[in-house]
Structure formats: C-alpha cells, structure tokens
Amino acid sequence: MLKLVQFHPAFGVRDMSPFCLKLETYLRMAGIEHEVVWNSNPRSAPKGKLPCIVDGDVVMGDSSLIIDYLKVKFGDPLDERLSAAH
C-alpha cells in the first residue's frame, strides 16, 4: 500500500506542515488508499523535506509533484469534470 511519510500530529492539528496537510487531505478526498508513517526526521526523505511517499519502488518528495504522480496513476477524481471555463 502507498505510504505517506509525514510529521507527527501536534497541538490538535493533524500535521503542522501545510504541505503534509495538503497531501494527506488530497489522498483522503481522492479516496486513494494509503498508510500514514510518522517521521520526525525530514533528512531521511529524498529532498530532505516532508511529505514524501513510498509507492513500491517509487520514493518521491514534494507535495505538488506527488499529486501530479497520483493523478497519472489513479486518475483525477476531484477535478476531472472541470473544463477550462468551469
């Protein structure tokens, strides 16, 4: 199963990083099955920052690049019905 690596929850917030929060929210809204892995050491991530994902042999950082990758792999259930006008 796809793993989302992100910081631990803190101060009642799921993740203090807006990038982690964005990506986890995307995964949940898009209905992509995933497992969250808590990690407080971003140095272990490919770009030295979190979030990152581990999807089989693919290890990828940067929330925007990850969402692009997820759209190619799983389709775009949130925005696929939108046109340039809507």
Ligand X SMILES: N[C@@H](CCC(=O)N[C@@H](CS)C(=O)NCC(=O)O)C(=O)O
Q: At what angle do helices 18-30 and 63-74 cross, to 10 degrees?
A: 10
The single-letter DSSP state of residue 10 is B
By CB under 6 A, residue 6 contacts ligand X: no
Structure tokens at 40: 């407080």
By CB under 6 A, residue 55 contacts ligand X: no
Q: With respect to ligand X, which residue has the nearer C-beta, 64 or 73?
A: 64
Q: Which stretch binds ligand X (CB under 6 A): 26-34, 59-67, 73-81?
A: 59-67
Structure tokens at 47: 């770009």
Q: With respect to ligand X, which residue has the nearer C-beta, 4 or 51?
A: 51
